[in-house]
Amino acid sequence: MRIRSLAVPAVLVPVMILTGCGSEATSDVAASSPGAQKVSKQGLTEQVSGPAVGSADPVVNAYYAYRGGLDEMMQSGGVQTAQLKPLMTTKLFQSISVQAKYYRTKKLRNTGVTTVVWAKRTLASNGVIVTACYDTTAARTVDAADRSVLPATTPTRWLDHMRVQQQDSRWIVDGGSTAPTSC
Q: What is the structure's pLDDT at 54?
A: 62
* Lowest mean pLDDT across 5-14, 66-75, 118-127, 161-170: 5-14
CA nearest 155: which of 177, 132, 136, 133? Answer: 136
Euclidean distance between CA atoms 35 and 23, whole angstroms: 20
Domain positions in the chain = 3-15+22-180
Encode pLDDT of 144-155 as tens digits.
Answer: 999 999 999 999
Antiparallel, parallel or unpaired: β 157-167 and 170-180: antiparallel
Q: Model's pTM, two decimal places?
A: 0.71
| 25 vs 102 pLDDT, higher one | 102
**What number does CATH give the domain 3-15+22-180?**
3.10.450.50
